[in-house]
Amino acid sequence: MLNALMTRLETGDTLDHYRLDATVARGGMSTLYKATDLKDGRQVAIKVPYEEMEADPVLVERFKREQQIGQELDHPGVVKTYDGEERSRMYMVIEWVNGRLLRSILNEADKLPIDRAVKLTLGICDALDYMHKHGVVHRDLKPENIMVDEKDNIKLIDFGIARKEDARRLTYAGPSPLLGTPDYISPEQVKGQRGDQRSDIYALGIMLYEMLTGQTPFAGPNPLAVMNERLLHDPKPVRKLRPEISAELQEILVRALEREPRHRYQTASEMAWELEHPELVGVDESIRRPAGGLRLPGRRKLLLYAALALAPIALFVLMLVLARR
C-alpha cells in the first residue's frame, strides 16, 4: 500500500531531497520529472517507475541496468546518470539536458537541410562509437531519444532497453515496446535476435533517411506490418524523394540500411568516416545490386579496386617466372 501511495507523485511534491517541478513525459514504464536538488539547487531529471513495474523482477532488472549504464558512461554525447544514494523508493536521478528532442525539430521542419542532417548524424556516430567501445548497445535509437542543443550538439537519452555485452540475456517475450520502436527497429531484432552495435547503426540510418526526406522508409497499417516491410522490401532511394541529395550520401544510407548485419557498416566510426569523406565513397548507379548484397565501404572498395588492377600484372609475372624454369 505504501508503494501505491508513493507512486502518485504530483508537481510540487518532494521526493527525498528533490522537488518535482514539472512532469516532462510519461512512458510505458515510468514517469520523467524535471526536479531541483534542494541540497545544491541544481536541476536534474527524476525517472520514477510505475508501481506495476516495481513488482516485475525483469523490469526492475532493466531499470537497474539502465541506471548502471548511465553511471558508467562518460561522454558529452551521452546523458549521465548520477550515483545512487540512500533513497526512500526506486527512482533514477539523471543529468538535466537543455535542448529539444530531435522529434520536435522534425515535427516543425519536416526535412532538414542536408548539411545539418549530416552534422547531427556525425554527432550520433561519435556517441555511439564511444558506447559500443564500452560494450553498450542502445537498441532503441529514435528521434524521441536524441536531445539537440542550440548548437546542434546531440545527447543520447533513455537507455531503458540498452544492454551490456557481459549482461545475461533477459527473457524474450515477443514484439513489445521493450524490443525497440517499429519504425527504427532492425531486421534482426524483428526476428527476435538480441541485436548488437550494427542494430544501432541501422536505426541511425533510418533517422538519417527521415531527417533528409521527412519520412521513414517503411510504412504499414500497423506496427507489425511496418516491421515486416523491412524484411521484404528495400527503402525507396532517397534521391527519388529529394534529387539534390548526392549519390554518395544515398550510397552511405544504403550501406547503413543493409538488411543483413554483416553487410552493414560494422562500426559507427566507419559510417562517420564516409560521411566526412564522401568523395571516397564508390558509387556505380548503372548496376542494380541485389537487395542485401555486399556493399564495401570506401576504403575497402579502394583496396579491392587496387587488388583487381594488380591481379593481371601478378599473373603475368608468375607466368614469366614459370616460362623461364
For residue 258, what is its C-alpha cell? 543493409
Contact 229, 219 (CB under 8 A): yes
CB-hemisphere CA count at 13 Å for 142? 18
Contact 198, 261 (CB under 8 A): yes
Q: What are the DSSP calls for 220-231, one per residue?
A: -SSHHHHHHHHH
Distance between CA 10 and CA 7 in Å, rounded? 9
Q: Which of 140, 183, 196, 200 is catalytic?
A: 140
Nearest to 134 by CA among 103, 165, 93: 165
Tracing cell 514484439 back to the chain, one arrives at 175
217, burial (CB in 10 Å: exposed 0-12, middle 13-18, buried 19+) = buried
Residue 183's DSSP bridge partners are none
Contact 124, 138 (CB under 8 A): no
Contact 148, 105 (CB under 8 A): yes
Nearest to 235 by CA among 252, 248, 224: 252
Distance between CA 102 and CA 124 in Å, rounded? 11
For residue 281, what is its C-alpha cell? 565513397
Distance between CA 75 and CA 304 in Å, rounded? 36
Which helix or strand (DSSP H or E) is residue 164 part of?
Answer: strand 163-164
140 is catalytic: yes
Question: Where in the sequence numbering do the catalytic residues fall?
Answer: 140
